């Protein structure tokens, strides 16, 4: 019964932290800002041609590929908004003095934070896709929304989990929230792309670099038949969908484990 009671308490504590993170996001208006950016960016590809009298692409998949071209920026903004200061922000604001002394595991606090921020990020992503899907139906017809749309959404969710886990790890590793935010930009805009380019120059396998697989979100619409297969990633045009899923899961698990390790050992 003791173990069962502990599980029940952990479940309650996770739910408590999820509610706390939701209220914190709402009070800071981060969710509203992220949702507003998502609405604005997703509307551009419909409103600009409509207002200027320009023609839409003849193929629905081409429109979808173009419209989802900015989703990677939404994913990165989500990671920064909801992950870059998720842990060190509590230390910076001294709110750890209120949270950690409570009779709940630090791992439970971390898990509750991660679930809420991931759900919030997924919600922002869904807003983008819902608007893009609605625009596609208005321009073409409902048959233009194929299973590729669902695959793109699900892979965006998976990729978002990997990005958020990495930012949680950086937030647990570094005390200053501003530095962890800067490092997030550095990792995804400079380090990973530069490292990938260097590895390709020396003809070395770069399939383990996470940012390569953000291309799936667009390629699922443009080249749906070309991204499935047991191939090694040698260039951006030669990618393996199933390997991308495994890479995202590996980054998510390892980064979250690192965040848990540093959080459990961090001094108040």
- Condensed to tens digits (0 to 9), the pLDDT of residues 78-122 reads 999 888 887 876 665 655 444 544 556 777 888 888 999 999 999
| Band (257; pLDDT cuts 50, 70, 90) | very high
CA-based angle 207:254:8, to the nearest 5?
A: 145
Specify the higher pLDDT residue, 143 or 5.
143
DSSP H/E element including 93: none
> What is the rounded (10 degree) CA torsion for 117, 119, 122, 127?
-110
| Band (165; pLDDT cuts 50, 70, 90) | very high
Instruction: Give the model's pLDDT for residue 124.
Output: 95
Give the separation between CA 261 and CA 256, rounded to whole angstroms: 9
In the chain, the percentage of residues whose pLDDT exceeds 90 is: 25
Q: Exposure string (b/e) for 152-173, b if CB count within 10 Å is 16 or more? A: bbebbbbbbbbbbbbbbbbbbb
Average pLDDT over residues 170-194: 85
The CA distances from residue 63 to 132, 133, 227, 237, in Å, are: 9, 10, 19, 20
Q: Evaluate if residue 224 carries a pLDDT over 70.
A: no
Average pLDDT over residues 64-77: 88
Instruction: Give the model's pLDDT for residue 213.
Output: 82
Average pLDDT over residues 25-49: 89
Give the separation between CA 205 and CA 216, rounded to whole angstroms: 18
Q: Is the pTM of this model over 0.85?
A: no
Residue pair 146/64 in contact (Cβ under 8 Å)? The answer is no
Residue pair 67/38 in contact (Cβ under 8 Å)? The answer is no
Give me 258's structure tokens.
């690192």
Q: Evaluate if residue 48 carries a pLDDT over 50.
A: yes
Angle of helix 2-28 versus helix 30-52 axis, rounded to 10: 50
Residue pair 105/260 in contact (Cβ under 8 Å)? The answer is no
């Amino acid at each position: 019964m003791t173990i069962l009671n502990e599980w029940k308490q952990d479940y309650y504590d996770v739910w408590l932290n999820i509610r706390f993170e939701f209220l914190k996001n709402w009070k800071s208006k981060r969710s509203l800002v992220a949702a507003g950016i998502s609405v604005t960016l997703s509307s551009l590809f419909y409103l600009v041609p409509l207002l200027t009298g320009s023609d839409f692409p003849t193929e629905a998949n081409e429109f979808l590929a173009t419209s989802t071209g900015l989703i990677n920026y939404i994913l990165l903004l989500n990671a920064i908004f909801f992950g870059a200061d998720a842990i060190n922000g509590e230390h910076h604001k001294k709110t750890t003095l209120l949270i950690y002394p409570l009779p709940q595991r630090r791992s439970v606090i971390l898990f509750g934070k991660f679930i809420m921020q991931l759900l919030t990020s997924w919600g922002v992503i869904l807003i983008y896709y819902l608007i893009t899907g609605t625009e596609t139906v208005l321009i073409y017809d409902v048959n233009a929304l194929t299973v590729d749309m669902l695959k793109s959404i699900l892979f965006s969710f998976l990729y978002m989990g990997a990005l958020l886990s990495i930012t949680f790890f950086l937030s647990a590793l570094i005390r200053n929230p501003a530095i962890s935010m800067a490092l997030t930009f550095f990792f995804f805009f400079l380090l990973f792309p530069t490292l990938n380019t260097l590895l390709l120059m020396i003809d070395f396998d770069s399939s383990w670099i996470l940012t390569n697989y953000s291309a799936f979100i667009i390629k699922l619409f443009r080249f749906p038949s070309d991204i499935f297969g047991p191939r090694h990633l040698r260039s951006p045009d030669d990618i393996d969908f199933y390997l991308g899923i495994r890479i995202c899961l590996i980054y998510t698990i390892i980064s979250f484990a690192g965040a848990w390790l540093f959080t459990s050992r961090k001094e108040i």
